[in-house]
Chain A
Amino acid sequence: MADPGRKRACIVGIGETKYGRDKGAAHTNLGLQLEASIKAISDAGLTRRDIDGVMPFQGLANAEEIVANLGCDKVRFAATVAMGGASPVGSLALAADVLAAGRANAILIPAGWAAFSGPRTRELVLDPARLPGGVIANDYYFPHGYTAPMQWYAVMAQRHMYEFGTKREHLGAVAVAMRKHAQLNPNAVMRGRPMTMADYLASPMLADPYKMLDCCIETDGAAAFVVTTEERARDLGKPIVRVEAAAAAQPHPADEITNRKNIFETGLGRAAPEAFGRAGVRHADLDFAMIYDCFTFELIHQIEELGLCKRGEGGPFVEGGRIELGGELPINTHGGLLSEAHVVGMNHVVEAVRQLRGDCGARQVANAELGVVTGWGDFGDGSVAILARG
């Protein structure tokens, strides 16, 4: 290990609500997160009074109301990492440091939303003040109809296709793989709705090159996990899932997506070498990857940024079933944001823990011992955690 003396954190509890798309549901962001939190605390074998840290997702529920509802009366650490979809893994990275510093003993990280029955994701960004660099989006993006994540990221995908020959079928291979995995996941919203490459190619164009089936789904649901010290984790009697290293970074500039010296630069490109270096593991050692798949190209892009292949080679990387179960590196065995549910990447962390515990049933990666989880948010913020069975 690169830093054997360092205290490592462990994920000891996971919880998820049912993921769904029911227009008549009466879910609230808070209610969903409380349900997931209670499950995660119970799964850890802890009680609410053991939780002394909480790190909620920005804008979906605040620490005070979560803590008050759960009856956690010993909280001494509360913080929110503001990196959009990179926040859950970014929070895990910060939580590991906070635990190592002794500022808390057991940290709850919840997130979730009623993104189908409540305000839809596409409506959440109508107010550019909510965006990173909100004034920039208001003044220079929105007047030209450049108003949504699908469109912001589409221009990167388009340039990648031009510079590196990334093909439509590469994007499709990601969508098809995610859907295939979802068929093995009872909680996946797209279970029972298999999809072929022909289905993918026939789906309507929304923001070229993104078709409808390149896009994540809007769903109701929440997930939570509990992080504690390795010492404490060993007392709890659960299989150990250790955070070997975790890191987060922003691209430069982080508030404007078209003017980076290299348009493909992301936060993950800097966070990944840091995390792999500190963990002292090689890419070839990974048994699986859970990659934030808000859109198909973003998964391909992050394969490159993680260092799994060179920049420009992410398209060929996803060919031939390599990222599917049974392939060389299974990615998003739960179906991801594209086919399980959009739980802002929380579900990627939960699935990684399940794989390392050996609890994935029909979609279990044989002898899974080491995996990586990423987060992608806002205009290219990145986070990454390397998790190992203890």
Chain B
Amino acid sequence: MASLTAVGADEIGSKGTGDEFYAWCARGELRLRRCNACREWCHVPRVTCPDCASTDWTWEPVKGTGRLYTWTVVHRAMHPAFMGDVPYAVVVVELDEGPRIVSGMVDCPIEALEMEMPVEVVFERSDRWGDRVLPRFRRTAGGPSGKAKGAR
């Protein structure tokens, strides 16, 4: 049975492709893995392409725009690292390229969250779980309308 205690920040470094993903974020770029064989985008990043099993891929920039696909507003943190942040929204953004990405909102009160709302990426440093520059999202200013509601 694995440890039942909280993991310390020094143990958090990625064992997968996360370090590369976040290295791009630290440079202010949202890049996803894209398969060079079948051209499918892939998030979360994987070792092989889930569509064609190719291992030939590139970290390719995405536009960073998308729609709010769904969310939850956390009123009681289930992990001590986030207790000071409540209430906070965990959002799932469907990027224009197709993949969905788990993130959070910047400059958006929780009452303003709306399904299909257009959003765009911003980068924000966080030390809540490791010390990383995270891709977060904000409402697209005067942007195109989402399916459900007009731009605010």
Contacts and interface: CB of A to CB of B under 8 A. Distances in A.
Interface in B48-90: 50, 69-79, 81-82, 85, 88, 90
Given A151-B74, A155-B90, A258-B102, 5 more contacts: A138-B129, A143-B129, A151-B72, A158-B70, A158-B71
Contact of A127 (B5, B18, B43): B5
B21 interface: yes
B128 interface: yes
Given A124-B4, A159-B69, A258-B100, A142 B76 contact: no
Given A136-B16, A147-B82, A123 B4 contact: yes
Given A128-B7, A159-B69, A145 B16 contact: no
A243 B65 CA distance: 50
Contacts of A135: 14-16, 18
B6 A143 contact: no
B92 A155 contact: yes
A142 B79 contact: yes
A146 B89 CA distance: 9
B12 interface: yes
A207 B132 contact: no
Contacts of B74: 145, 151, 206-208
A130 interface: yes
B44 A136 contact: yes
27 contacts: A60-B1, A123-B4, A127-B2, A135-B18, A136-B16, A141-B102, A143-B129, A143-B132, A144-B90, A145-B77, A145-B129, A146-B90, A147-B77, A147-B78, A148-B78, A150-B78, A155-B92, A158-B70, A159-B69, A205-B75, A206-B76, A208-B74, A208-B75, A253-B50, A258-B100, A259-B100, A263-B70
A151 B1 contact: no
Interface residues of A, number: 45
A154 interface: yes
B134 A143 contact: yes
Nearest to B131: A143
A263 B69 CA distance: 10
Given A145-B79, A146-B102, A138 B44 contact: no
B18 A138 contact: yes
A210 to B, nearest CB: 8
B76 A207 contact: yes
A204 B75 contact: yes
A93 to B, nearest CB: 24
Nearest to A154: B72
Nearest to B17: A139
A150 B72 CA distance: 10
B90 A204 contact: no
Interface in A234-288: 253, 256, 258-259, 263
B4 A126 contact: yes
Interface in B1-51: 1-7, 12, 14-18, 21-22, 43-44, 50
A265 B39 CA distance: 24
Contacts of A126: 4-7, 79
